[in-house]
């Protein structure tokens, strides 16, 4: 019984991490087709911002929101300075955002140094049989699901969501219909950045903040979004579900690195079988 609970917790925890780190990328890469290799560093910035807030004694939950906003604003700056010149130039985007990633890692190391800044994880443990589970892990799952639901609702049911989806599908028509497409691109990029900033902040209490934090998670995020296929949300959720199940089980029986490697190999084989990703043949949904 408690063994089952342990597996469920591991899978759920892994799922929430997959969702959190992939959601922003699903918006920026999955939806806008901007391949942002600096996405991991946005995560890292979110984590740093959270530790800073903590340092100034700001309430943890409030600092999650502040971190998301801060990274969102940072996203606007990046979009205006670099990304907006590169739409449609996929390889160049790849290279420039990689440059940005190096720049951010270097910059943060210069300012804060290479050591890990930490935030105390709140809330303690809950005991199930022989296993103790951190309550904060359960909170993370809740945050992941809430973020997912919010993005879905926003996309599906708001006017802005409709404008964005239309613009991503056919920028020319949207422009003809009077949409300011430069603004839409900027705000969508900011939205994706904010989601990643939130993820970084939420991760900070369990992993801390250090300059190379992004590199640890970027690989997972990209294989999730790529394996998901062309429907960013449905794809990300189904790929997260698949990978977190594998990761949760393998990591529990061996080690987290083996879990991650297994996920990669599954993803590569999956892409051989379904080159367009899990949602490759679906035509409806977001």
Partner 1 sequence: MIHGIALMQHPSERPRWWWWVFIAGLAAFFITMPFHLEIFVILEMSRFFGMAMLALSMGFLWGFSGILSFGQTAFFGLGGYGFTVLALNTGETTGSVFFAVAIAAAGAGILGYFMIYGRISEIYLSVITLVFTLILEKGIRATSGDQYVIGTVRLNGQNGIPTVPQLDVPWNPSVQLDINWFFWTGAVLMILVYIGLRLVLTTPFGRVLVGIRENERRTELLGYDTRRYKLAAFMLAGGVAGLGGAFYAISIPLAHPEMFSLGRAADVIMWVLVGGRGTLIGPIAGVFAIEHFKGWLGTQGVGQVTLVLGAVLILFVLVFHKGLLPSVGSLPGVWADRAAIRRRLGEAMGGLVPRNRPPGAGGRP
Q: Footprint of partner 1 on this chain (CB under 8 A)? A: 32-33, 35, 37, 81-82, 84-92, 94-96, 98-107, 109-110, 167-168, 171-172, 175, 181-182, 185, 215, 218-219, 222-223, 226, 230, 255, 257-258, 260-261, 264, 267-269, 271-273, 275
3-state secondary structure of 265: helix
Pair 246, 266: CB distance under 8 Å? yes
Q: Which is nearer to partner 1, 65 or 226 (CB)?
A: 226
| Dist CA 178 CA 175 (whole Å) | 5
Q: Which is nearer to partner 1, 86 or 249 (CB)?
A: 86
| Dist CA 57 CA 108 (whole Å) | 22
Least separation in angstroms between CB 49 and partner 1 = 19
Pair 229, 277: CB distance under 8 Å? yes
Reference 20, options 228, 192, 268; nearest CA is 192
| Dist CA 43 CA 195 (whole Å) | 9
Least separation in angstroms between CB 79 and partner 1 = 11
Q: Which is nearer to partner 1, 76 or 82 (CB)?
A: 82
Least separation in angstroms between CB 164 and partner 1 = 12
Q: Which is nearer to partner 1, 150 or 276 (CB)?
A: 276
What residue spans of 158-212 are helical by DSSP H? Answer: 159-169, 171-176, 181-207
150 Cβ neighbours under 8 A, 6+ residues apart: none
Q: Which is nearer to partner 1, 124 or 275 (CB)?
A: 275
- The tokens of 68 are what? 């998301």
Q: Which is nearer to partner 1, 51 or 260 (CB)?
A: 260
Least separation in angstroms between CB 144 and partner 1 = 22
Q: Which is nearer to partner 1, 166 or 241 (CB)?
A: 166
Pairing label, strands 131-134, 125-128: antiparallel
Least separation in angstroms between CB 80 and partner 1 = 8
Least separation in angstroms between CB 31 and partner 1 = 10
Least separation in angstroms between CB 38 and partner 1 = 9
Per-residue b/e over 204-222, b at no fewer than 16 CB within 10 Å?
bbebbbbbebbebbbebbb
């Amino acid at each position: 019984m408690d063994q089952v609970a342990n597996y469920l917790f591991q899978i759920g925890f892994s799922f929430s991490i997959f969702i959190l780190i992939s959601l922003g990328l699903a918006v920026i890469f999955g939806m806008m087709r901007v391949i942002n290799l600096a996405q991991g560093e946005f995560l890292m910035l979110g984590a740093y911002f959270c530790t800073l807030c903590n340092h100034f004694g700001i309430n943890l939950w409030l600092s999650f929101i502040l971190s998301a906003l801060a990274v969102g604003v940072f996203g606007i700056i990046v979009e205006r300075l670099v990304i907006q010149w590169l739409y449609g130039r996929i390889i160049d985007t790849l290279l420039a955002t990689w440059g940005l990633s190096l720049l951010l890692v270097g910059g943060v190391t210069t300012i804060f140094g290479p050591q890990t800044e930490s935030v105390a994880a709140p809330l303690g443990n809950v005991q199930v049989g022989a296993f103790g589970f951190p309550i904060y892990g359960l909170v993370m799952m809740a945050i992941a699901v809430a973020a997912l639901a919010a993005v879905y609702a926003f996309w599906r049911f708001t006017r802005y969501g409709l404008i964005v989806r239309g613009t991503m599908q056919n920028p020319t028509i949207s422009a003809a219909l009077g949409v300011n497409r430069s603004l839409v691109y900027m705000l969508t990029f900011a939205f994706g950045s904010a989601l990643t900033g939130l993820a970084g902040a939420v991760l900070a209490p369990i992993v801390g903040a250090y300059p190379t934090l992004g590199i640890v998670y970027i690989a997972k995020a990209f294989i999730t979004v790529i394996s998901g296929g062309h429907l960013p949300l449905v794809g990300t959720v189904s790929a997260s579900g698949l990978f977190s199940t594998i990761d949760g089980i393998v990591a529990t029986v061996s080690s987290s690195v083996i879990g991650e490697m297994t996920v990669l190999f599954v993803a590569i084989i999956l892409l051989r079988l379904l080159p367009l990703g899990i949602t490759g043949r679906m035509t409806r949904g977001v």
